Structure 1
Amino acid sequence: MTTKTASINMRVLPSVRDIIDAAASLKKVDRTVFIQQAALNEAHSILAEQRDFVLEAKAFEAFDTELRAEHQTLEGMKDLFNRRAPWE
């Protein structure tokens, strides 16, 4: 089964292209592969920052304690969730 590809076009200064080409050459890949790998690595990193986080042991204990604590009902939130939305 063939997977379709999508095109991404960009314009860069010749000096930027030259630097990218030099780095791609060192990695022994073409410009497209180099840019794709770099962009994908950065995208994964940014998405992980939004999803994953690391805490030291003491901070994790405090976080875990709060997660396990008895929940509190906030009357203001209860009221908010019981209201009809203005667009309904």
Structure 2
Amino acid sequence: MPKIRSSSSERLESATAAVAERARVSEAKDSINLRIDARTRQLVDEAAAILGKTRTEFMVESARRQAIDVLLDQRLFMLDPELYDAFMHTLDNPPAPGPKLRSLLRRTPAWGK
């Protein structure tokens, strides 16, 4: 893994530019056909109406925002050599799970109750 140094603002500008470039790849409009259940469609319609948007505008903006978040979340870690070595050591040698982690992993998540 290469060791690269740059400022946070440079990284953010670079990532934002990369996402914007992907968005400009094709300016021609195309279509996406979706099959969704009636309850989900109603939910989308209600949310769109509250914002004064059409269903299409709401779905495209929501999907675009989520796509940008996913792409920007793939972060490049910039570390000085000592921190890089410590980071790689930690990845290669994770600590053993303690009692709190074991307990947490045994619990049923709130959305599963």
User: Normalising TM by the smaller chain, what interval?
Assistant: 0.5 to 0.7
2:75, 2:49 → 1: CA distance? Answer: 34
Shift, 1:43, TM fit: 0.3
Q: Deviations over 1:11-51 (max 9, x none)?
A: 10011000000000001000000000000000000000113
Identity of aligned residues (%): 35
Q: Deviations over 1:44-86 (max 9, x none)?
A: 0000011356xxxxxx7xx22448xxxxxxxxxxxxxxxxxxx
- Name the residue aligned to 1:82: none
- Name the residue aligned to 1:11: 35
How well do the aligned residues superpose, as a CA RMSD in angstroms?
Answer: 2.5
Instruction: Work out the number of aligned pairs and report it.
Output: 59
The answer to whether structure 1 residue 64 and structure 2 residue 88 are counterparts is no
Runs of 4+ in 1 over 2 A off after TM superposition: none
Unaligned runs of 5+ in 1: 54-59, 68-88
SS at match of 1:7: coil
Question: Greater RCO between the two (CA within 8 Å, min separation 6)?
Answer: 2
2:47, 2:71 → 1: CA distance? Answer: 25
TM-score, scaled relative to structure 1: 0.57
- Name the residue aligned to 2:59: 35
TM-score, scaled relative to structure 2: 0.45
Unaligned runs of 5+ in 2: 1-26, 84-113
Higher radius of gyration, 1 or 2:
1
